[in-house]
Amino acid sequence: MVDQCPEYANLQHELQLTLQTLSDLTKAMLDAFRGNDRGAFARLDKELETTVGRKERVVGALRQHVKDHKCSGTDAA
């Protein structure tokens, strides 16, 4: 087992959390859509957009870090 770069591990953790949030929001939005709950649908749509933006930033930061630091973190990189 190779020592894992702590910064890479942080970003990886953040990406996992963000993807989990995306998944939860998507499911909630589907429920709102099926239930014809327009208020919840609109609110979740906004949240989902914000979270997609965050996902983009974390993925970008992860790529940039690997490029700058030359660390591959794990095999998943």
Q: Tell me the CA end-to-end span of the chain in Å, nearest whole number.
A: 15
Is residue 71 near Zn ion by the rule CB under 5 A? yes
At 42 the three-state DSSP class reads: helix
Chosen residue from 27, 56, 69, 77 binding Zn ion by CB under 5 A: 69
Is residue 63 near Zn ion by the rule CB under 5 A? no
- Tokens 């990189």 correspond to 77
Q: Which is nearer to Zn ion, 44 or 58 (CB)?
A: 58
CA torsion sign for 65, 77, 8, 61 is positive
Least separation in angstroms between CB 72 and Zn ion = 8
Binding region for Zn ion (CB under 5 A): 5, 7-8, 69, 71
